[in-house]
Amino acid sequence: MALSGAELRPGTLYLIPNLLGETSIDASLPRQVTQITARLTHFLVEDEKSARRLIKQLNPSTDLRSLSMERLNEHTKREALETLIAPLSRGHDIGIISEAGCPAIADPGSDVVRLAHSRGARVVPLVGPCSMILALMASGMNGQRWRFVGYLPVEGLERKSEIEDLDRIANNTCETQIAMETPYRNQKLLNDLLSWCRPQTQLCVAQGLTTEDEWITTASIAEWRATAHELRKVPTLFLIGRC
């Protein structure tokens, strides 16, 4: 629908990637991210501390006190979303920043993106690190058919059943299964995968992606069982595959 001269065009919603860990800006983010972030004054952020740190790293001269920064996380109520994107309807651009990685990918943001589309706003995803894609690239597993399952059940039969289901799907369909865990439970998940997956199943563990201590290893469950591994308590992805 054409806009009249007096009608204000909605702003643009930018999806701004954050670093995955302790690494330099130049190693993970292209110049475009710096240039766009420098001119934004409205942000929706998962975590204020990490967002402020990223903005300051991108543009050291930024006056953080001049920015409008609203919280957007898993606790944000749907009825609050209209208020959060209100600046778009006034012609302001908004940036969404997750605590790590890309907004709306295993992180908050998709509800706001969908609402922005419904309001006719332009949505622009900016290039940056996505841990799932990086881990899949380095795993040697099927990159054409894969599924991110997020966090697994913490305890009991439900956890065992979920792991056995992922193992069955990976072996029967060659679809790579990608899971994540809270860092302090990394070792427990590794132990459970080694207990409940088939010996021939391939397992990739990807720790500290993009950081100096990055560690990525793929081997069969049988091979993992033959060697002791003590995982660090850092962000980690676990990939289960067969082909």
- The Cα–Cα gap between 141 and 239 comes to 8
Q: Which CATH number does the domain housing residue 88 bear?
A: 3.40.1010.10
Q: Report the pLDDT value the prediction gives residue 155, as an integer from 0 to 100.
A: 83
Q: Report the pLDDT value the prediction gives residue 7, as an integer from 0 to 100.
A: 67
Q: Which CATH number does the domain housing residue 224 bear?
A: 3.30.950.10
Indicate the DSSP class of residue 10. Answer: P
**Residue 74 resides in a domain:** yes
The boundaries of the domain holding residue 58 are: 12-125
- Of 103, 125, 147, which one is at a domain's C-terminal end? 125
Question: Are residue 192 and residue 104 in the same domain, yes or no?
Answer: no
Query: Domain total for the chain?
Result: 2
The pTM of this model reads 0.90
Question: 100 with 235: CB under 8 angstroms?
Answer: yes
Helix (H, G, I), strand (E, B) or coil at 115: helix
Please give the helix or strand (H or E) that residue 43 lies within, else none. strand 42-45
Indicate the DSSP class of residue 6. Answer: T
**Residue 5 resides in a domain:** no
pLDDT along the chain (243 residues), means of 10: 59 96 92 96 95 95 94 91 94 96 91 95 96 97 96 92 98 97 96 97 98 96 96 97 88
